[in-house]
Structures are given as structure tokens and as C-alpha cells.
Amino acid sequence: MPENVIRVEKWLPNYEPTEEELRRLMAEEGLTPYRWSNMPHDVYAAHTHPYHKVIYVVSGSITFGFPVEGEPVTLRSGDRLDLPPDVRHNAVVGPDGVVCLEAHL
């Protein structure tokens, strides 16, 4: 995958994945995820990271905005975001909070 492309992969199966299932998917790619969570309606102001992020939503929802790169996207259980380094983004947590797994490339 090109390093400079934001990629969103929606969870297609008709069930919500378990955290263990998502951890297994990440491990199959050689990723070592850590878990984080936020309360409902928490907000992250626009910022960047010097590394490539891979995020899977375990539960709840979060909307990522890309002020320079494109339209906002809401991620729900099982959805994945690949965020290249130095892409400016913000985020707003949904009404039920969010739990995510994240790893860095």
C-alpha cells in the first residue's frame, strides 16, 4: 500500500468482531496493537503523527476528519483506518464512546 494514501476498510461480515479477532488480524500482518478508549463526545483537535497508524474500532464509533486531505469518515466496530505519517486529522468520539486497537508501522 502506498505510504501517502488514507485507507478506510469497512467491516463487511454481518456480525461485530471480537477484540481477539481484530488482534489476530493485526498479528497476521506483523502488527503489535495496543488498546485505547475514549468517553462519548471526546474531541481530538487537528494534529499529525510522524508514523503510519493502523486503527481498528473494537466498539462504539469515532469520526475522523481530514481538513486538508478529504471528507470525514465514521468508523464503527470492525472498521479499519490506515493513516499515513504527517496527515493532518482530527477526531470526535461517538455517543457510546469508543474502544480501539492501534499499531504503528
d(C-alpha 54, C-alpha 104), whole Å: 6
CATH number at residue 12: 2.60.120.10
Which segments in the chain show pLDDT lower than 50?
1-2
Q: Residue 71: what pLDDT?
A: 84
> Pairing relation of β-strands 53-66 and 89-104?
antiparallel
Cβ count within 10 A of residue 1: 9
Number of structural domains found in the chain: 1
Residue 2 placed within a domain:
no
Cβ count within 10 A of residue 57: 24
Q: Residue 3: what pLDDT?
A: 59
Residue 45 placed within a domain:
yes
Q: Residue 45: what pLDDT?
A: 95
pTM tops 0.75, yes or no: yes
Segments forming the whole domain that contains residue 50: 7-104
Residue 21 placed within a domain:
yes
d(C-alpha 22, C-alpha 67), whole Å: 28
Residue 1 placed within a domain:
no
Q: What is the CA radius of gyration of the chain?
A: 13
